[in-house]
Structure 1
Amino acid sequence: MKATVQPPKKRSRLRKWLKRILMTIIIIILLFVFGVIPYGLSYLMTQSAFNLDRGDSETPAIYGANYKDIEFSSIDGNRLSGWFLENNGKGVTIILCHGLNRSRVEMLRRATDLWCAGYSVVIFDFRRHGKSEGEHRTLGYLERFDVRGAVKHVREALRPQDKIVLMGVSMGAAASLMAAAETLDVAAVISDSTFLSFEETVTHHAKEFLKLPKFPVVYEFLLITEWRIGLDYEDFDLEKAVEKIGDRPVLFIAGGADRRMPPRIAERLYQVCKSPKKDLLIVPGARHGHAYHTAPEIYLNKVLDFIAKI
């Protein structure tokens, strides 16, 4: 029995269809890699309404602290909500700044500890977190305007005569450092688990947790985020912020087991800092943002000792 030979025209037509299918697949993959993944990640980071503290009804009263509800504006016009725990003894007000996808509740135990030690304390929700307004979350870039709004509110309405100390965790630490670099109303900063720069932390997280390459995904993410919300990622640099803070005291804190913001970051910023009153605390075994919970007595003693020397 003779084999049937396919006519040349049919073979040619089949090859054309296979080429078209292959090109379509390649285009879809390229669009996915260069567009869908970075745009989706950018959207999730900036637009998410996820909140780990959602439904948590704790207030300072649970820990025996007197407080009042406050509202104020960021310097770019977002209405922000918070609590004020007032003390008249030490002439220092500490503004506490929470991390991404959290709320003021993350800082509540620290706030009441500091209040019990004699300090006035402000804790508030960043834009698009908790009870505050806001369109975007930006890991600290725009949140620095929230911190500056809190500083302005303390200076003008709450405790005009007090020294102001900023204390933040993760995103809150980044926002605090950037805010302090832009206003001399801040006397000192306590930076817990910050990153080096926006580009560095995006690259690190993409590689460490998502197994994504810097090219093209991270570069596309940075460009898309810059285009979407006006975030200048080259200016979002905490080393530059620490340099601008000058000789004002900064305490850098990190968790020894932090995979997201490893201790080398705090050590690097400590080296960059020009202040003769700078300090560094690495808490062994602490994961990201958990230095306080891992060793509360060591953490609090270091913070109180640092503030007392300002």
Structure 2
Amino acid sequence: MSSLGILFSAFVSIGYLLTNRMMFIKKKDPSTIYEREILLNEEQRKWYERVPKKEIQIDSMHGYPIQATVIQTIDAPRYVIFSHGVTETRLSSIQFAMLFEQFGYNAVIYDQRRHGTSGGKTTSFGYYEKVDLKAVVQYVEQWRGPEAEIGVHGVSMGAATALLYGGTYENTPISFIIADCPFSSFSEQLAHIASAETSPYWTEQALRVANLFLRWRDGYTLSEVSPIKVVDQIKVPILFIHTLKDTFILPHMSEDLYEAANEPKQLVLLPEGKHALGYRKNREAYRDAIADFLQHVKKD
């Protein structure tokens, strides 16, 4: 094989390797999530067993089903849609559904594309997920009518999804967004992972190759997964939450998003907990932050 052929083969191999790691990221075993959230958590298990639930299927505009659960505990048209993080399932949102019940909200928990029992071939870290979130919001709006109050709460990739949704679609019916440990830029996040893990995969040159193959294979580029670019287009109140000890998605990303967002907005930095553990490790402070935020946005 010629030198040119060897270089081309290496280029293609690197492109496929990098985009495979993103598009087909290894997910947690659903049984592990079920054990963590239900079997070994008596409080959540008892709550989830007693609350009225309705399993629904929502059609994604991309041609696959989005599986969701409506939890109706409040006799009012107030709902929070919970968008979970990468590798998780909707069961990881139960803790937040319980929390928001205290404030008079019902819950819609759903599986992101390629997660849980929802369809979808790839994970896109918010690019296609924001379109699915739009479908879930539209379902709630059409079901409960224009009087419904709808909020969105997202964690990690789910938080980025919520911000991308809010900053992309005009005239959205949602009343607020709560973004728990979002990344501001997926490219920057990948670069941080490379630095933290001294990974040979995510060098600057490798990211350029990944970008080319990502557009070819999955229809978007890394720059299109950047909440920081659209957060100033969001017209509803936003609460950013991040733990100071998060070393996976650094807290400065929420600070940067907060600075770029329009008023009304709030930023809460919590002292304890690694990535996506803000509520588990700071229950009282997290609850107080939600209560204060909702006091200003909740409709009578």
Alignment TM class, shorter chain as reference = 0.7 to 0.9
Q: Structure 1 residues 116 and 152 mapped into 2: Cα distance closer, same or farther (>3 Å)?
A: same
What count of residue pairs does the alignment treat as equivalent? 285
Whether the 8 Å contact between 1:95 and 1:122 is mirrored in structure 2 is yes
Q: Please state if 1:256 is matched with 2:244.
A: yes
User: Which amino acid is 1:93 matched to?
Assistant: Y
2:225 aligned residue (210, 213, 236): 236
Superposition map of 1:10-159 within 5 A: 31-32=9-10, 34-48=11-25, 50-54=27-31, 56=34, 58=38, 62-63=46-47, 64-89=50-75, 91-158=77-144
Q: Please state if 1:207 is matched with 2:195.
A: yes
Q: 121-130 or 280-289: which moved more?
A: 280-289
CA distance in structure 2 between the aligned counterparts of 1:136 and 1:154, rounded to whole angstroms: 25
What do the CA deviations read for 1:51-93 (whole angstroms, capped 9, x no partner)? Answer: 2433516397631422211111223332111111124455421
Q: Which runs of 5+ in 1 are unaligned?
A: 1-19
Whether the 8 Å contact between 2:51 and 2:72 is mirrored in structure 1 is no
Alpha carbon RMSD of aligned pairs, Å? 2.4
Q: Structure 1 residues 279 and 89 mapped into 2: Cα distance closer, same or farther (>3 Å)?
A: farther
Give the SS at the match of 1:254.
Answer: strand
CA distance in structure 2 between the aligned counterparts of 1:52 and 1:231, rounded to whole angstroms: 28
What do the CA deviations read for 1:252-302 (whole angstroms, capped 9, x no partner)? Answer: 011211112111111111111111x21111111321111111111211221
Whether the 8 Å contact between 1:199 and 1:222 is mirrored in structure 2 is no
Which residue is 2:184 aligned to? 196
Offset at residue 49 of structure 1 (A): 5.6
Whether the 8 Å contact between 1:51 and 1:130 is mirrored in structure 2 is no
Whether the 8 Å contact between 2:272 and 2:282 is mirrored in structure 1 is no
Q: Which runs of 5+ in 2 are unaligned?
A: none
Which residue is 1:187 aligned to? 175
Give the SS at the match of 1:138.
Answer: coil
Give the SS at the match of 2:30.
Answer: coil
What do the CA deviations read for 1:142-185 (whole angstroms, capped 9, x no partner)? Answer: 00011101100000124642121110001101111111121421
CA distance in structure 2 between the aligned counterparts of 1:115 and 1:75, rounded to whole angstroms: 30
Q: 257-266 or 53-62: which moved more?
A: 53-62
Offset at residue 234 of structure 1 (A): 2.4
TM-score, structure 1 normalization: 0.84
What do the CA deviations read for 1:186-228 (whole angstroms, capped 9, x no partner)? Answer: 2110001111122211222222224335332121112211211
Q: Please state if 1:309 is matched with 2:296.
A: yes
CA distance in structure 2 between the aligned counterparts of 1:254 and 1:130, rounded to whole angstroms: 25
Q: 158-167 or 265-274: which moved more?
A: 158-167
CA distance in structure 2 between the aligned counterparts of 1:164 and 1:62, rounded to whole angstroms: 26
CA distance in structure 1 between the aligned counterparts of 2:45 and 2:283, rounded to whole angstroms: 20
CA distance in structure 2 between the aligned counterparts of 1:116 and 1:67, rounded to whole angstroms: 17
Larger Rg: 1
Q: 143-152 or 63-72: which moved more?
A: 63-72
Offset at residue 94 of structure 1 (A): 0.4
Whether the 8 Å contact between 2:125 and 2:225 is mirrored in structure 1 is no
Q: 119-128 or 194-203: which moved more?
A: 194-203
Whether the 8 Å contact between 2:52 and 2:73 is mirrored in structure 1 is no
Whether the 8 Å contact between 1:92 and 1:119 is mirrored in structure 2 is yes
Which residue is 1:226 aligned to? 215
Which residue is 2:162 aligned to? 176
Q: Please state if 1:279 is matched with 2:266.
A: yes
What do the CA deviations read for 1:105-149 (whole angstroms, capped 9, x no partner)? Answer: 111111122124321110000111001111111111100011101
CA distance in structure 1 between the aligned counterparts of 2:211 and 2:281, rounded to whole angstroms: 34
TM-score, structure 2 normalization: 0.86
Give the SS at the match of 2:55.
Answer: strand
CA distance in structure 1 between the aligned counterparts of 2:175 and 2:130, rounded to whole angstroms: 16
User: Which amino acid is 1:228 matched to?
Assistant: R
User: Which amino acid is 1:125 matched to?
Assistant: D
Give the SS at the match of 2:166.
Answer: helix
Identity %: 26
Offset at residue 30 of structure 1 (A): 7.9
Whether the 8 Å contact between 2:127 and 2:224 is mirrored in structure 1 is no
